[in-house]
Chain A
């Protein structure tokens, strides 16, 4: 089945540690995205990449970094500079759907930093 895989589903880290969230897609989509969601809030864009080896900052990129060395992979690193890293992180891709272009989401990773 085609789709987006995020791992792990739950992640726990100590404050001051960097942590990398995995995102893999087998949809052959060029564009990929990382969103952050806080309780009771909508999604906020962290970074996006429209093609391999290229990415742009979203609305809340501070304290995060990404890489896009392969089309199918778009890992997100939450650095120790991110002041409030505890959140639900969603990876997505954009590409052809049943009748038009659609955004497909992974199942998310819930990060807890203590």
Chain B
């Protein structure tokens, strides 16, 4: 699975959009980009994933560049409850072969009033 690079920390004002970048320059053609977040002392929570098209769900939007070497997770209206560590992971979602997710240190997002 490809490695990812994320900034260690970011701040965002409450109510504004939070844009979290991730570089995955060695991603291969069949690897998806997944985003998880971990609120302090809890298990990580799935947010969104995508292959090459931009994706949106009730939590966030995922923008993947055309060359797929980087992506951005967008929280459109950040709230204080979005304060967490956000992990970007790339992997192939093989059927019943989860293999191992490689979690880096992620980005610690602080949403401030």
Assess the A108–B41 pair: CB atoms within 8 A: yes
Residue of B nearest to A45 (CB): B100
C-beta contact mask, A36-61 vs B, less than 8 Å → 1, else 0?
00001111110010100000001000
| Alpha-carbon gap, A48 to B98, bound state (A) | 9
Residues of B contacting A45 with CB < 8 Å?
100-101
Shortest beta-carbon distance, B83 to chain A, in Å? 15
Q: Which of A13-21, A62-70, A72-80, A92-100 contacts B (4 or more CB under 8 A)?
A: A92-100
Number of interface residues of A (CB under 8 A): 31
Q: A105 and B44: CB pair below 8 A? A: yes
A107:B43 contact, CB within 8 angstroms: yes
Please list the residues of chain A having a beta carbon within 8 angstroms of any beta carbon in chain B.
4, 30-31, 33, 35, 40-45, 48, 50, 58, 88, 90, 92-95, 97, 100-108, 110
The 7 closest A-B pairs by CB, nearest first: A94-B98, A105-B43, A43-B103, A31-B98, A101-B93, A42-B103, A42-B105
Q: What residues make up the interface of B, taking CB atoms closer than 8 Å to A?
A: 32, 34, 36, 41-46, 49, 87, 93-101, 103-106
18 new A-B pairs (CB below 8 Å) besides A4-B43, A45-B100, A88-B41? A31-B96, A33-B100, A33-B101, A41-B105, A43-B44, A48-B99, A50-B96, A50-B97, A90-B43, A94-B98, A95-B98, A102-B46, A103-B46, A103-B98, A104-B46, A105-B44, A108-B41, A110-B41
